[in-house]
Amino acid sequence: MSVFDRFPTVRGVLQEKADLAKKSWFGVGGPAEILFIPEDMDDLVLFLRNVPEGFPVTALGAMSNVLVRSGGIDGIVILLGNWFKKIFVEDGIFEVGAAVSCRELATVAIDSELGGLEFLTGLPGSIGGALKMNAGCYGSEISDALVEFEAISKDGRVRWFKVSDVDFGYRTSGIPDDLIITRAWFRGLQNVDYVISRKTNEIIRKRTENQPTNKRSCGSTFKNPEGRKAWELISEAGCRGMRVGGAAVSEKHCNFIINDGSATAEDIESLGIKVADKVQQVTGIKLEWEVICLGKSVK
């Protein structure tokens, strides 16, 4: 008897022992016990309402800020497919699927001559993940432009939230972990007093100059403590260039951990722990991870 005999018939992809390393920005990590990529919203609702007992559900986005440990993730991993990668624009409002990349939305905003979303070109992930962590850069956060969003609970109930319903903060949203974001609506600004494409290109230039964009990484490893920059603390603690196996603290931006091509997930996590410990010893400040570590380690 196949494990799939316990699951509902779906139109999307249902796969056992699915490789997640190829999907991760770090390029490392173990498999998903079961991977589900729904064909559309109806497929996702049907699946979640009929998940067999005993199978935990984990939703992942672009995996731009997720480190999957080498033992992989037990239960079901859900990745949203092409149906969730659509953008519609009407009267200055963007209706955006959760699997749309932040950069793609920034590009559509340029084409639509609507401002306020330029900063999204500096965010590597998808809309759903960016909302969940209230991602931001260059003085803006994704919640600044949010109107409302749609989400589905892990028991298959669809719900809608206005931005005022959620307690957004610095790199946090208060969105419950049992919700999978599926769509969001954002307001663009009309008649801004700057050239939208020029501002976007300036953000791209800054990002390229100051971040190791040509290396495998998951962006900022640690959140900025109140009143300080994480990279300054890491530099002050002498961690720039520090290594564990194939993982290294970037010389270009020391709040980035990079995979030199030979790192394991355990190398990356161990290096992060080592950096945080050293920063606390030297500065007395405890850094909080921005990268999310999931799954089982392999000893």
Tokens representing residue 180 in the block: 């999978």
Instruction: Give me Rg for the CA atoms of the chain.
Output: 20
Question: Which one-letter DSSP state was computed for residue 126?
Answer: B
Judge whether 47 and 79 are in contact, CB under 8 Å. Answer: no
Catalytic option among 6, 103, 148, 171: 171
Residue 250 C-alpha from the chain's centroid = 20
3 state DSSP class of 84? helix
3 state DSSP class of 121? helix
Judge whether 67 and 293 are in contact, CB under 8 Å. Answer: yes
Tokens representing residue 73 in the block: 């993730």
Give CA–CA dist 103/106, Å, rounded. Answer: 5
Give CA–CA dist 49/1, Å, rounded. Answer: 22
Question: Is 197 noted as a catalytic residue in this protein?
Answer: no
Tokens representing residue 66 in the block: 């997720």
φ and ψ at residue 235, rounded to 5 degrees: -65, -45
Catalytic option among 140, 217, 220, 250: 220
Question: Is 240 noted as a catalytic residue in this protein?
Answer: no
Question: Is 90 noted as a catalytic residue in this protein?
Answer: no
Cβ density class 76-87: b for 16+ within 10 Å, e for less: bbbbbbebbbeb
Tokens representing residue 267 in the block: 């190398």
List the Cα angle 279/261/266 in 5-degree steps: 50
List the Cα angle 103/288/207 in 5-degree steps: 30
Residues acting as catalytic residues:
171, 220, 290
